[in-house]
Amino acid sequence: MSSSKQRPAPTGPGNHLGGRPRKACDECRSLKVRCSNERPSCKRCSRLRRPCTWTPAATAQRAPNPRNNVPSAVTVDSIAPKDVRGDLGIPAALLSKLVDGYFSEFFYAPLLLHPPTFRQALGNNSVKKHVILSVCAVASSFYVGSSQDTYLFNDGFSSEWADNAQSLVFADLASPQEENMVTLLNLTLFWYCQGQWQRSFLLGCNTFCIARILNFPDSISSNDTSLSAEMSRRRFWASYTMSRLSGMLNDWIVPFETLGKVPLPWGEDDFSRGRLSENLIMFTDSERDNSFFAEIIRIGGLWTKVHKFIQSTELEFGERLATIQAMDTELRKWRNSLPEVFTFTETKARNCDPSALSQVLLINVLFHQSLCVLHASIIPLFTFCRVSPGHGDAQTRSAQTAFDHAKHISSLLQKCATSHNKDQSGFIGYSAYCSSAIQLPFLWCQATDVAARVTTNIKTNSLVMSRVGKRWKLVAGLEKHLRSLRRYHEISGYSLQDEPCNIDSEELNRHSRSFDRTRTSLLGHNDIIWKYGQISECGEIVKLEVDDDGQHEPDRGLDLNMTGFPAYSDVAAEMLDDFLAPFCVPADLDAFMADSTPY
């Protein structure tokens, strides 16, 4: 039966932003979303824990809400029906902004979707709903409205889109397709950022399962230069890279000889234009091009080797030293062959496009972080491992190497601080934590120049962690762990004479006990949430032994009330005062927070 009267949008998955009943609470009316009409509090207000107020229709006169100013001041009521995705209820202008933000801000986006092809498919209504919703969920966590608040995230739209995308993609699991991998990987990272570790792990495991069912990578053509073949290869590399960098599923083993037959992703310029490249570079080839993701895959593979080595306990100390030297050589060989476009210079930091600078920063931090944890893994002073007497010279060399690369990480962050305004990845925040932890014992160094440099470095690292921690819950937890480590070292009464190369090796072994959880937080990236018998609860990471040993006040977990994300360059002073204050005198702290401390 047909009717000329337009009916409200359906209420199935993905349609909660579409049409609304004639009566609604003030909050739902101001946001132009569907209200369930329960009183005294509707379902949306109850879920978001906000006051639910009702103004009689005849007298309802509300001032315009700045959160309604979606891009170009477009609202659901002010655009034509053809400009709204009727099946999703998302204004076309907002959807376009979210898609743009997804491709410009989300690390994995170019591995999952081809921007021009995806936008064309959106116009043709040929993209699966769960893919669109997952893209919107991820992008909305970056999206800042005209009033400079993340209202899509704060008002629950991000979570709704993610929930609806999950329902739809789970309904398709019996018929696995590559599009399912796209949605599941999007949702894995979306919930991971918020500290929903268990949910993220479940979704991530389903991503890997679909890759296995699709027989990736064996089913991927190694000589097809079509765009569709490139996308299949990129989606495999996306899941492979996530498993390696996140440590989520290290048991997903792809034989090296199989990896060697899979071409690496094209360079970004060629890919964005969809231009076919006849010269496909394989994983085992020594040839290099300007492909960012090819270098991430290479250095990510080396990081994984370092990570597995650190976790192993079978090797004797002499064998460990030999392995460290071999891995050190392998990392430096990769670095010496790195294309010039990815090498870091101060000129590049000042003049480089923010997106390109973000890539350069991540690649170089991965290199320094790999060497840093590799050498720090045998130094009790740095990583709370067991003492191994009789190897003082080797430990001194490794301690100095780890200390140097920790300083390099701080230096990179310092030089990018004023020009790099993009949100940084969670790995950057973790590296800032590890860099600080290794430099902490030298805060009280008798060599004043060393102590001053370390103080400046830790200030920079702390600021980066605070910024990154607003969007990555793991980093927010590591901020608290860093406070505990600082108190522990202060109570231990260190007064080292100089840098590691100029002190007695006994100073490197003065910590006599093994603190496994503390060591894991420093060397294992996400291991602190994946290990110890169960995946951590929502937003929590395990307490460190240094809290108990120093009889410090225990960590009370992470605050999950994420009421807003400040802009990258706008971190309130009170967020940092309690942590930075021990590192500097008040005048120095004020200058740093006023951004007048020179980098």
Q: What is the pLDDT of residues 543-596, one digit of tens each?
A: 777 765 444 333 333 332 333 323 323 333 333 334 444 443 334 434 433 333
Picking from 223, 247, 273, the residue at the C-terminal end of a domain is: 273
Report how far apart, in Å, the C-alpha atoms of 25 and of each of 29, 34, 50 are: 6, 10, 12
For 512, phi and psi rounded to 5 degrees?
-95, -5
Average pLDDT over residues 530-539: 64
> Amino acid letter at 327?
M
Q: Which helix (H) or strand (E) holds 257?
A: helix 256-259
Is residue 126 domain-shared with residue 189, that is, in the same domain?
yes
Q: Tokens 């399912």 map to which residue? A: 180
Residue 175 lies in a domain: yes
Is residue 493 domain-shared with residue 358, that is, in the same domain?
yes
Picking from 227, 246, 273, the residue at the C-terminal end of a domain is: 273
Average pLDDT over residues 362-388: 93
Exposure string (b/e) for 135-161, b if CB count within 10 Å is 16 or more? bbbbbbbbbbbeeebbbbbbbbbbbbb
Angle at 99 (CA atoms; ends 21, 104), nearest 5 degrees = 145
Q: What is the pLDDT of residue 378?
A: 94
Residue 124 lies in a domain: yes
Residues in a beta bridge with 263: 282
Residue 106 token pair: 């989300």
Residue 557 lies in a domain: yes
Is residue 389 domain-shared with residue 531, that is, in the same domain?
yes
User: Does the pLDDT value for residue 386 go beyond 90?
Assistant: no
User: Do 515 and 420 form a contact (C-beta atoms < 8 A)?
Assistant: no
Is residue 385 domain-shared with residue 471, that is, in the same domain?
yes
**Higher-scoring residue by pLDDT: 66, 128:** 128
Residue 108 lies in a domain: yes
Is residue 245 domain-shared with residue 334, that is, in the same domain?
no
**Any long-range contacts for 285-292 (C-beta under 8 Å, 24+ apart)?**
286/337, 288/337, 288/338, 288/339, 289/339, 290/339, 290/341, 290/342, 291/264, 291/265, 291/266, 291/267, 292/267, 292/268, 292/342, 292/359, 292/363
Residue span of the structural domain in which 169 resides? 91-273
Q: What is the pLDDT of residue 149?
A: 62
Q: Which helix (H) or strand (E) holds 90?
A: strand 90-91
**Higher-scoring residue by pLDDT: 324, 595:** 324
Average pLDDT over residues 297-315: 90
User: Does the pLDDT value for residue 522 go beyond 80?
Assistant: yes
- Residues 3-51 have pLDDT tens digits of 443 333 333 344 444 433 346 887 777 666 778 887 778 877 776 666 7
Residue 179: pLDDT band by 50, 70, 90 thresholds?
A: very high
Q: What is the pLDDT of residue 25?
A: 83
Picking from 273, 296, 327, the residue at the C-terminal end of a domain is: 273
Q: What is the pLDDT of residue 419?
A: 61
- How many domains are contained in the chain? 2
**Whole-angstrom Cα distance, residue 382 to residue 479?**
17
Is residue 250 domain-shared with residue 346, that is, in the same domain?
no
Is residue 587 domain-shared with residue 512, that is, in the same domain?
yes
Is residue 424 domain-shared with residue 546, that is, in the same domain?
yes
User: Does the pLDDT value for residue 312 go beyond 60?
Assistant: yes
Is residue 315 domain-shared with residue 390, that is, in the same domain?
yes
Report how far apart, in Å, the C-alpha atoms of 252 and of each of 107, 193, 216, 237 are: 22, 22, 12, 13
Residue 541 lies in a domain: yes
Residue 371 lies in a domain: yes
Residue 228 lies in a domain: yes
**Whole-angstrom Cα distance, residue 234 to residue 221?**
12
- Residues 433-470 have pLDDT tens digits of 999 999 999 999 999 999 999 999 999 999 999 999 98
Is residue 103 domain-shared with residue 232, that is, in the same domain?
yes
Is residue 583 domain-shared with residue 529, that is, in the same domain?
yes
Is residue 363 domain-shared with residue 418, that is, in the same domain?
yes
Highest mean pLDDT out of 73-77, 288-292, 311-315, 407-411: 407-411
Backbone φ/ψ region at 273: left (φ over 0), alpha (ψ -120 to 50), beta: alpha
User: Does the pLDDT value for residue 414 go beyond 60?
Assistant: yes
Residues in a beta bridge with 91: 84
Residues in a beta bridge with 70: 74
Residues in the chain: 599
Task: Give this prediction's pTM.
Answer: 0.78
Residue 295 lies in a domain: no
70-74, 198-202, 255-259: range with lowest mean pLDDT: 70-74
98-112, 167-181, 461-475, 509-523: range with lowest mean pLDDT: 509-523
